[in-house]
Copies of this chain bind each other. A is one copy, B any other.
Amino acid sequence: MERFDRIKVPSAYEMVAEAIEAEIVSGRLRPGDEIGTEAALVRQFGVNRSTVREGIRVLEQGGLVRREASRKLFVCEPRAGGLSTRISRALVLQDVTFRELFDTAMVLEVGSVEGAVVHADADMLAALEDNQERLEAAVNNPVVVAELDSEFHALLARACGNRVLEMAREPAALLFFPSTEMICRRVPEGAGRMAQAHRFIIDAVRARDLQLSRTWMRRHLVDWRKGFVRAGREIDEPVERIFARYALSKSQS
């Protein structure tokens, strides 16, 4: 047990990043504001442009700042910001299993539908109905079905009006739902059952029936799991790296 921590001398580029970050976190710079040109930052901070640029890379990667088409620097909406993608990637590198994804989805998606039951408004219900309509029209197209299933669950989370929950479920969802495509390919009746479950979930949300919404969400997820196994996959196998790269590249666009 050491008495003192290692002393970390901050480097100039870190200080540049922190100075700008502090302005954003404090609210003095708001999303949409311009940061200024590199030359301007060089003047203000009194450091070299290379140093400023390294600082900018840090902020950009942190999702605080965006550069539109290699032009001006904006403070950006801290939303999506690729952070979920990066967490997903970290999970893949840790070789998490489908069981872990499934158990987590069970917790988060059920929580999500409960929130939707309480908070969903007419617009959200309309969006869900629209999704359902497109799903029923595309039951024979695995790619579209997978996309629409993913969208369905994202809509439910959005309907909660809970941005914390919405963000918490995203990394798992990013890894979880893409395999729906694989399942639909190998289990012919999968898409139909999914459409049916979605139907019941939407109805439960509309009727504000907590118990029913839970039941059908659980059934829906258990179905997913059964399909996964019937498609010949092992629930305890790790999410594969190749697969994850596919999910990753798709979500970054």
A87 to B167, CA, bound (A): 8
For A87, list chain B residues within 8 Å (CB). Answer: 83, 87, 167
Answer whether A167 and B25 are a contact pair too, CB < 8 Å, given A69-B6, A107-B108: no
Interface string of A86-124 (1 = CB under 8 A from B): 110111111010001101101110111011000000000
Minimum CB–CB distance from A115 to chain B (whole Å) comes to: 7
How many interface residues does chain A have, given as a range? Answer: 35 or more
Q: Using a CB-CB cutoff of 8 Å, which residues 147-177 of chain A contact chain B?
A: 160, 162-165, 167-169, 171-172, 175
Determine if A27 and B171 form an interchain contact, defined as CB atoms under 8 angstroms apart. no
A133 to B121, CA, bound (A): 47
Q: Using a CB-CB cutoff of 8 Å, which residues 219-253 of chain A contact chain B?
A: 241, 244-245, 253
Determine if B167 and A90 form an interchain contact, defined as CB atoms under 8 angstroms apart. yes
Minimum CB–CB distance from A24 to chain B (whole Å) comes to: 7
Determine if A241 and B168 form an interchain contact, defined as CB atoms under 8 angstroms apart. no
Copy tally for this chain in the complex stands at 2
> Does any Cβ of B come within 8 Å of A70's Cβ?
yes
For A101, list chain B residues within 8 Å (CB). Answer: 164
Determine if A78 and B53 form an interchain contact, defined as CB atoms under 8 angstroms apart. no
Determine if B90 and A78 form an interchain contact, defined as CB atoms under 8 angstroms apart. yes
Nearest CB in chain B to that of A24: its residue: B93
Determine if B96 and A163 form an interchain contact, defined as CB atoms under 8 angstroms apart. yes
Q: Which of A37-45, A55-63, A178-186, A202-210 contacts B (4 or more CB under 8 A)?
A: A55-63
> Does any Cβ of B come within 8 Å of A11's Cβ?
yes
Determine if B25 and A162 form an interchain contact, defined as CB atoms under 8 angstroms apart. no
> Does any Cβ of B come within 8 Å of A50's Cβ?
yes
For A93, list chain B residues within 8 Å (CB). Answer: 24-25, 31, 78
A81 to B171, CA, bound (A): 15
For A62, list chain B residues within 8 Å (CB). Answer: 61, 86
A104 to B50, CA, bound (A): 42
Nearest 3 Cβ contacts at the A-B interface = A107-B111, A78-B90, A61-B61
